[in-house]
Structure 1
Amino acid sequence: MREAAIAYGYQRRAKTAAQSELDRGYQKNNGEVEVAPYCATFTKGLAHDEYGVVKDLAAVDIFKVEISQQLDPAQPDTPKQHTPFPDRPGNDIYPKGVAAAFDVPHPDMFRQPVPGGGMPKWRGWESPLAGHTFELEGPDCDTLAMPEAPKLGSDELTAEIAELYAMALLRDVPFQEFETGQAGTAPTPSGMTTNTVIAALNQLPWFNKVTAPDIQHLTPREIRRREARFLSGETALTRGSLFRGSTAGPMTGPWISQFLLIGSTGRGPGAGCNQMPLPQAAAQPPQQASLTCTNLAPGGGGDVTDGLIRYGAQTITQYFIPHLARVDHMTDLTTWLDVQDGADRKKIDCYADAPRFIHTPRDLATYVHFDALYQGYLNACLILLSMDVPADRGLPEGMGNSTDDTVRHKTRDAFATFGTAQILSLVTEVATRALKAARRQKFQIHLRGRPEAVAGGLTLAGLQAAAGGGKSGVERMGPFGAQALAMADALPMALKNGVNAHNLASNTAHGTAASNGWIDMCPHNLLLPMAFPEGSPMHPSYAAGHATVAGACVTILKAFFELYGAGPFSGSRGETKLSTIVQHFENDATFGDLYRAPSLMPHACRTSPDGSHLVPYAGQLTIEGELDKLAANISVGRNFAGVHYYTDYYESLRMGERIAVGILQEQMLTYREPLSMRFRSFDGDYMLLTGTGGSLGLDDAVVHVRGADEGVISFDKWWHRAGDESGWTRG
């Protein structure tokens, strides 16, 4: 009974911690979701006219009522505190306890057949009600917030869509061209090169701090996002910062993270491997055909450059067969309109004829097209374990074969707690929490339109009035027409010409017509060339599920593994007092001792000129930096595919980080001995999580934060940073 009472106390304290993180209702979108005809709102799956505008505006209202799960259709934009429960009196949504029908009108006929088949089927919306779920571990979906997405016509969104065009044009250029000191100019179907693309992007105010050092009316959050795009001291984009990410790790070394390239070294030969003899008369088993995998060793490869990851007794390869180069999709109006209506054009992908390591943006887009969302982070964890990287020195038990006494306990080893079993489970466990939080932002808060839809709007905004009295594109788009036309006009002419040439080459290769002549009536075909035939998924753009999962999973890895030197830790593992660690953190002169001497990545590699194998990389890379790079690679890989914006990546990554911290904070309450974990956040904050081992007081499960440049700050200030920097008023 005593243990049950203690457990109940822990559970109540954990839920109190989760509920205190954010006031429910502290949410805000950019307002475009309220404005018909919803040209910047996610309407994929509804019926659209030849202008790409929703045919039936009432269908949008029905859609919003269904995703908000409200009883009063007359108030579809008024948020509720929670989903009505089945069989509750007056519940018209779940009559008799039957699941919601989610009855939204949608098309069932399309214009363009699928290559090699008949007409496509309609796709359903993916988990539109997941944002209404509750959590028993970690923060609930409605305790997390993301700032408003950039509006149509803003400098930031203009830069984002221009960047996506640039990514599409350079989709088959080797990543090594996007590095400082490189001078390659691989040819592209559009005729543009890395140099000409960078020059075009730097014509935009958002990417050039020389011509536009200060953009008016930016919030502190927008300024932070803009600054994150550049290397230190840069005033414009360069090869070294192009498409890189938003933290120091992605800006350093090869573009692709080591955790997407290298493998594990095999366990190696044993000693005394003397087999018992069989009787001479015994029949020998028949010889079987040999199963081959290049350089396969027991539990890994002969070397990390073989790209074979140890997964128990099995092996995971880092190389795979990517999508076929120079095959893009949705570059003609007919196919684009079908996809906006929800046509399912999956499973018609084209593939290369041989496997290779991730070498080009299209290769990375292939990876994030089919990955199990936690896949890259589970692989990273397996690699770290195979390298015997120890757990954070603040954890009571260690693991691995280190001879360093500060990472070993005198009598205990880790497994169920603080060891392989816990981290391999936890790094994947956070993924579903991240996905549900992202779904709430997508469907219940922002409903941000996908890049493919906005690019179509930029194209059709230039359409002049059709013969017979038809409306121009600007007229049909209503309040959004002038903004879309202004955005299209603001795009650098070289970039527009490049996209137009690329799409012409794509349509010629596919044998698709210009679609009833409408594209020919527009100044440019600015449809966004997509890496996936089905385009974006059937859910809104903001938050990005991949990026939210990336933020959560990588934060778990950074907190769990030892990324720094011994600092104030002395003696064997577990012998340094928690109070000593906290005192070092709170002291301006000594806190840096906790974050010095970063762990280096051994055996760093990069891809060969053709991506067929790995070659050594001589520069120094850190584990922390390569984990941050992994999160950026996976997230930005979705941008390379054309399905997400930079802000989707940037803000979702940081929301995922908070989900992981919330889960770790709750778990601190469950341990019966003092412990700590430390890491640096994606904004460069110094983070220290501490648990007392059972006090259940205000000193237990504490998240200590030092801003990158502002000293000690409250956990509350860190948690609410996105909203506070966006000028929101706390409710």
Structure 2
Amino acid sequence: MSRSRISYDVRVAAADLARHRTHPVHKANGDEQRYAPANHALSFTKGLEHDKGTGLVADPAHYLAFRRAIDEGLITAFQDGTVPPAGVKGRQWEAPTAGVVTDLQGPDAQAVTMAPAPAMGSDELAYEMAEVYELALLRDEHLDTFEGGLTATSKLVASLNNLNKMQYTADGFPRRPRKSGGKHITPQQAFRGSSPGVVDGPYLSQFMLIGNGNVEDGRIGYGPQQIDQRVPVAAEKDWMTAWDDWLAVQNGANVRDNDTLFDAKAPRRFIKTPRDLATYVHDDALYQAYLNACLILLGMRAPLDPAFKQLSGAGSQSSGSAWQAGGFALFGGPHILTLVTEVATRGLKAVRFQKFNNHIRLRPETLAGRIEKAKTIDDIHFVGQEVFQAFAQKLQHTIKAVKKASGNALLPMAFQEGSPMHPAYGAGHATVAGACVTILKAFFDTGAILVDRKYETLSGKVIEEIAFRTPARKNAVVFEEVTPDGTVQERFSLKRDDKPVAFRPDADGANLVKDNKGGFLTLEGELNKLAANISIGRNMAGVHYFSDYYDSLRMGEEIAIGMLEEQALCYITDPFVMSIPTFDGDVVRIGGR
């Protein structure tokens, strides 16, 4: 058979696979229609003009023009005045038509979906809004607080547990559980996410801290250059806590000012507070954390998926391999690095469809504005009812703490401009996190553990390393150094048991502190934690809810798996198999013809 025919058949098979994926019915929670008579009070309207007294969109016709332009998918409507922005020097809406494009690989942007977001008035929305408020109050606490149960965290977690008495069960809300080991959430479990390993050890994933040479210096080799894990320090100041400032931001005013946002005198530091994490996700390159994680793993020569053992290229990743042919373009570093970044664009297109075309969900900062003006909105739009006041009442303990800190119920924001210029649900960061981390879990051995390990060669040479490694038996031969002619030069044996290790920033964030006292951290857990850190870091900034993280992460995972399924058809000589542990703890297998 000719090469052109083989190539054609693979393309047809991939197209057939894509064609027969079930395109879902996209469902929203109904709040857009339900609250349309109240000037679209539960929809994303940022960038339109808002009423000074209520904070609602001033002219409902402007929202309808905005919605119509989104549905038509023509960018010209956002350029020619068809959608009238507020009369301020404002920000642009971000890619409102991206969800209508198609792709040649992986699931179509509209072939994946997200369940309806928690609806207005629900206990689930009350709980996740309380979480966002409380993360704002914890913004300048050291992340060690999230482990040790210090006073600030304990009080707020107790407030969340009071909300548990509504509909929250021992394992979480029916569809979006937090990681919880019992009836109540502890400080160690709070604000962490929902996947295996996320509650183990430090709050922050090791991939947000360590390097891949001398891991403790926090520098990642990036070819001939280095990436420093330290971030700039933002001033300990919250924004949008005054009504006029809040209103200007809703009208789309471009108010970001780095001169006041950052502390110019403070040296860069390792991420040690929620504000630092918010700073990271404010300006990151979106797939940046996962590219860094991949570079760390490649630099450590972390083990690949065990099923890759016989694949072209796998030998070059295993220390001491006797293989005479190794990977580069195939199952080597460039292959993995390319996929980690390539999948991000597909996630972004899919989530844009959910954001704009399906859910068009308002941001937490805007919902806080509705809570602040609850009585006014009820008096105008819900005469004789207490719709927004009843919702505010559910959060009374948390709102009381927020009012004590800033004087009103507005959500203290980490950024002057608040959220981006697109709806909340799903989350772009979380979708990309789900997609990119799934690629990493597909290629690397997720059962590897982070070890503080010491080797001794048969000649007495001692080597120490901190890296992700496959668990080894005491005194077992773990690898060999091989000369170019294939003969064994040195055998390394484990001198004593591996020690678990984790790193945390010190009190001022200048250095990393090594801790050998906890349990072993798994590669799967630290990758899941990385996805949660980046996603919930956006919640720490005040721009997203927990459900934005939860559902977007899983949609990103579905996109990456679909892309890998199609790529598996291209490996026509290798016995290609991938086993991917999902964010829900299941395992998906790809390949294995």
Name the residue aligned to 1:152: 120
CA distance in 2, matches of 1:11, 1:305: 46
- 2:318 corresponds to: 402
Confirm or deny that 1:552 pairs with 2:551: no
Aligned-pair distance for 1:347?
2.9
Report deviation, 1:645.
Answer: 0.2
Shift of 1:249: 1.7
Answer yes or no: is 1:250 the counterpart of 2:198.
yes
Structure 1's 424 and 364: CA in aligned 2 closer, same or farther, altered over 3 A? same
Between stretches 418-427 and 608-617, larger displacement belongs to 608-617
CA distance in 1, matches of 2:91, 2:68: 20
SS at match of 1:175: coil
Q: 2:477 matched to which residue of 1?
A: none
Which residue in 2 is equivalent to 1:333? 243
- In 2, distance between residues paired with 1:238 and 1:330? 30
Residue among 208, 218, 225 paired with 1:307: 218
Deviation, structure 1 residue 475: 2.6
1:103–1:409 CA distance, 2 compared to 1 (3 A) = farther
TM-score when normalising by structure 1: 0.70
Q: In the alignment, does 2:277 pair up with 1:364?
A: yes
Matched residue SS, 2:343 = helix
Aligned to 1:529: 412
- Residue 253 of structure 1: CA displacement? 0.4
- In the alignment, the residues of structure 2 paired with residue 324 and residue 661 of structure 1 have an alpha-carbon distance, to the nearest angstrom, of 40
Q: Contact between 1:45 and 1:107, CA under 8 Å: does it hold in 2?
A: yes
Change (3 A) 1:601 1:639: farther
Matched with 2:65 is 62
Whole-angstrom CA distance in 2 between matches of 1:444 and 1:390:
42
Question: Match of 1:21?
Answer: 21
Hey, what does 1:230 align to over in structure 2? 179
Match of 2:11 in 1: 11
Specify which of 86, 91, 94 is matched with residue 126 of structure 1. Answer: 94
Matching residue of 2:493: none
Displacement, 1:612? 1.5
Aligned to 2:455: none
Q: Give the drift of 1:214.
A: 10
1:421 is aligned to 2:423: no
- The one of 72, 82, 94 aligned to 1:103: 82
Distance in 1, matches of 2:399 and 2:26, equals 36
Offset of 1:479 from its aligned partner? 9.0
| Residue 381 of structure 1, CA deviation | 0.3
Contact 2:44 2:361 in 1 (8 A): yes
Q: Is contact 1:668-1:691 (8 Å) kept? A: no
> For the residues of structure 1 that align with 2:229 and 2:385, how far apart are their CA atoms?
46
Q: Is the 8 A contact 1:679 1:688 kept in 2?
A: yes
How has the CA–CA distance of structure 1 residues 199 and 57 changed in structure 2, closer, same or farther, with 3 Å as cutoff?
Answer: same
Work out whether 1:52 is the aligned partner of 2:51. no
The 1:382/1:158 distance shift into structure 2, 3 A limit, reads same
Structure 2 CA distance for partners of 1:601 and 1:264, relative to 1, 3 Å: farther
CA distance in 1, matches of 2:592, 2:344: 24
8 Å contact kept, 2:101–2:349: yes
Which SS does the other structure have where 1:315 is aligned? strand
Contact 1:201 1:207 in 2 (8 A): no
Shift of 1:602: 7.1
TM alignment of 1:109-188, pairs within 5 A: 109=88, 121-179=89-147, 182-185=148-151
Does structure 2 retain, via aligned residues, the 8 Å contact 1:635–1:649? yes
Aligned match of 2:454: none
Alignment of 1:494-509 (within 5 A): 495-504=398-407
- Which residue of the other structure, out of 230, 235, 239, is the alignment partner of 1:324? 235
The alpha carbon displacement at 1:480 in A equals: 12
Give the whole-Å Cα distance in 2 for the aligned partners of 1:639 and 1:383: 26
1:136 counterpart letter in structure 2: L
User: What amino acid is the match of 1:362?
Assistant: R
Bigger radius of gyration, 1 or 2? 1
CA distance in structure 2 between the partners assigned to 1:99 and 1:340 by the alignment: 17
1:97-150: CA deviations, max 9, x gaps?
x997472012114xxxxxxxxxxx211110000000100111111100100001
CA deviation map 1:643-701 (0-9, x unaligned): 00000000000000001001100100111122111121000011211153xxxxxxxxx
Tell me how far apart the structure 1 counterparts of residues 343 and 255 of structure 2 sit (CA, whole Å): 31
Structure 1 counterpart of 2:119, one-letter code: K
Checking the alignment, whether the CA contact within 8 Å between 1:559 and 1:678 is kept in structure 2 is: yes
Q: Distance in 2 between matches of 1:100 and 1:137?
A: 30
Q: Which residue number corresponds to residue 610 of structure 1?
A: 508
Instruction: Give ranges in structure 1 of 5+ residues lacking alignment.
Output: 70-82, 84-92, 110-120, 186-192, 216-221, 266-302, 463-471, 505-524, 568-599, 693-731
* Contact 1:207/1:236, CA 8 A, preserved across alignment: no
- Residue aligned with 1:529, SS: coil
Aligned with 1:438: secondary structure?
A: helix
Partner of residue 476, structure 1: 380
Calculate the aligned-residue CA RMSD, in Å: 2.4
Report deviation, 1:8: 1.5
* 1:198 to 2:157 alignment: yes
Give the gaps of 5 or more residues in structure 2. Answer: 449-469, 472-497
- CA 1:503 to 1:430, structure 2 compared with 1: closer, same or farther past 3 Å? same
In the TM superposition, 1:634-653 aligns within 5 A as 634-653=534-553
1:40 aligns with 2:47: no
The match for 1:675 is: 576
| Contact kept in structure 2, 1:675 and 1:691, CA below 8 Å | yes
CA deviation after TM superposition for structure 1 residue 213, in Å: 6.3
**Deviation of 1:393 (Å):** 2.8
Identify the structure with the greater strand proportion: 2
Give how far 1:481 is off.
Answer: 7.2
Q: Distance in 1 between matches of 2:316 and 2:290?
A: 19
2:363–2:543 CA contact under 8 A, matched in 1: yes
Which residue in 1 is equivalent to 2:188? 240
Deviation per residue, 1:594-635 (Å, 9 max, x gap): xxxxxx997531111222111112221011110110000000
Does the residue aligned with 2:198 lie in a helix, a strand or coil?
Answer: helix
Partner residue in 1 for 2:209: 261
- The match for 2:2 is 2
Query: Which one-letter code corresponds to 1:532 in the other structure?
Result: F
Q: Distance in 2 between matches of 1:19 and 1:253?
A: 43
| SS of the residue 1:143 aligns to | coil
- Equivalent pair of 1:388/1:401 in contact (CA under 8 Å): yes
Q: Is the 8 A contact 1:399 1:419 kept in 2?
A: no
Matches within 5 A, 1:209-228: 222-225=173-176, 228=177
What is the identity, as a one-letter code, of the residue corresponding to 1:196? K
In the alignment, the residues of structure 1 paired with residue 78 and residue 592 of structure 2 have an alpha-carbon distance, to the nearest angstrom, of 42
Residues 201 and 502 in structure 2, CA contact (< 8 A), matched pair in contact too: no
- Could you report, residue by residue, the CA deviation over 1:141-183 in whole angstroms, capped at 9, with x for unpaired residues? 110010000111100000011111100001000111111xx24
Contact 1:204 1:492 in 2 (8 A): no
Q: Which amino acid aligns with 1:677?
A: M
2:287 is the alignment partner of 1:389:
no
Would the aligned equivalents of 1:346 and 1:533 in 2 still touch at CA under 8 Å?
Answer: yes
Distance of aligned partners of 1:454 and 1:402 in 2 relative to their CA distance in 1, 3 Å threshold? same
Counterpart selection for 2:396 from 492, 516, 539: 492
Q: Is the 8 A contact 2:304 2:445 kept in 1?
A: yes
The answer (yes or no) to whether the contact 1:675–1:690 under 8 Å persists in 2 is: yes
Q: Residue 351 of structure 1: CA displacement?
A: 1.6
* Match among 405, 423, 429 for residue 540 of structure 1: 423
| Identical counterparts, % of pairs | 46
Give the AA of the match of 2:253: A
Q: What amino acid maps onto 1:334 in structure 2? A: D
Aligned partner of residue 423 in structure 2, secondary structure: coil
State the 1:503 CA deviation: 1.3
Find the counterpart in structure 1 of residue 460 from structure 2: none
Contact 1:381 1:424 in 2 (8 A): yes
Tell whether the 8 Å contact from 1:390 to 1:399 is kept in structure 2 after alignment: no
